[in-house]
Structure 1
Amino acid sequence: MTLPRPLPRLDQENTAFWTGGGEGRLNITKCGDCGQFTHPPRLLCRHCQSENVAPEAVPGTGTVDSFTINHQPWAKGLEVPYVIARVKLDGVPGVYLTTNIVDCPVEAVDFDDRVRVTFEEQDGVFFPLFRKVD
């Protein structure tokens, strides 16, 4: 399912996150000093304020923490219904991504479903979406 998505403005903080999907990588900012992850990406660690941060590829798996099914056609060409979910990423403590669950009926999505990242490219931006896994 391809949805028309507003494009983020790429900058020094977020480019690795929005373009990593071109290489199949889900990049989350990690601090080289305290080892904690920060999302959304920032130039400073949100835990220790260090500037020693860099994008790190993470496994791209997780669980559906919460979700809703949207039935409103907010933009022209937007196919409804679709799932908006908050995914708790494996191996990335404290990081949740707000995303869409794709490639399954909306009624098949449930709390704690296992999911894996997939990317949808639009004008050089790779949106991290998630599919259910067995």
Structure 2
Amino acid sequence: MSDANLPLSPQRTAETDAYWDAANEGRLLLKRCPGTDKAFHPPRDFSPFTGRPDTEWIEAEGTGTLYSYSVSMVGGEPHCIAYVQLTEGSIILSALVDYAPSEPRIGQALKVVFRPSRDGQMLPFFTPVS
């Protein structure tokens, strides 16, 4: 991904500060609903499963599989937007990096990598497991 195509930093909120701080440390955090024991993304204070405000942070393994994707050209370079089903079960919307254009395939093993946004905030992307 060229510097011109780097994304802008996300808008931080009180709900997401811990997530972005962990990303700057190279860690992927998820929220978990204690009532259902299910992890979810994006992080928020209320469980999407129960509606209760008793969620907790967990550190994700940073691995998963390609659930769905779309490749388009951005600035003359292929850009792959992907839904990744994490090992913890939740699905995260991200992008693939460091992949061959013919490489993406549903079910492919992926791992998280962190890259800086235009202003340096680290963002989670995914790359194929070698």
TM category (shorter chain) comes to 0.7 to 0.9
Cα RMSD, aligned residues only: 1.8
Q: Which residue of 1 aligns with 2:99?
A: 104
- Shift, 1:36, TM fit: 2.1
8 Å CA contact 1:20, 1:126 repeated in 2 = no
- Shift, 1:43, TM fit: 1.1
- Contiguous gaps of at least 5 residues in structure 1: 74-78
Q: 2:85 aligns with which of 83, 88, 100?
A: 88
CA distance in 2, matches of 1:127, 1:58: 15
Q: 1:69 aligns with which of 68, 71, 75?
A: 71
- Shift, 1:124, TM fit: 4.6
Kindly provide the amino acid, as one letter, of the partner of residue 110 in structure 1: R
Runs of 4+ residues over 3 Å off in structure 1: none
Residues 31-70 of structure 1 aligned to structure 2 (within 5 Å): 31-70=33-72
CA distance in 2, matches of 1:4, 1:55: 28
CA distance in 1, matches of 2:80, 2:50: 35
Compared CA separation, residues 108 and 34, structure 1 to 2 (3 A): closer
CA distance in 1, matches of 2:57, 2:44: 10
CA distance in 1, matches of 2:17, 2:31: 11
- Shift, 1:110, TM fit: 1.3
Identity over the aligned pairs, expressed in percent?
A: 26
In the superposition, the TM-score normalised over structure 1's length comes to 0.83
CA distance in 2, matches of 1:21, 1:41: 13
Aligned-partner SS, 2:22: helix
Deviations 1:82-107 (A, max 9, x none): 211111101x22x2111111112222
CA distance in 2, matches of 1:44, 1:125: 25
- Shift, 1:12, TM fit: 1.2
Kindly provide the amino acid, as one letter, of the partner of residue 105 in structure 1: A
Equivalenced residues, count: 127
CA distance in 1, matches of 2:111, 2:51: 30
8 Å CA contact 2:46, 2:55 repeated in 1 = yes
Aligned-partner SS, 1:50: coil
Kindly provide the amino acid, as one letter, of the partner of residue 33 in structure 2: C
**1:130 and 2:123 matched:** no
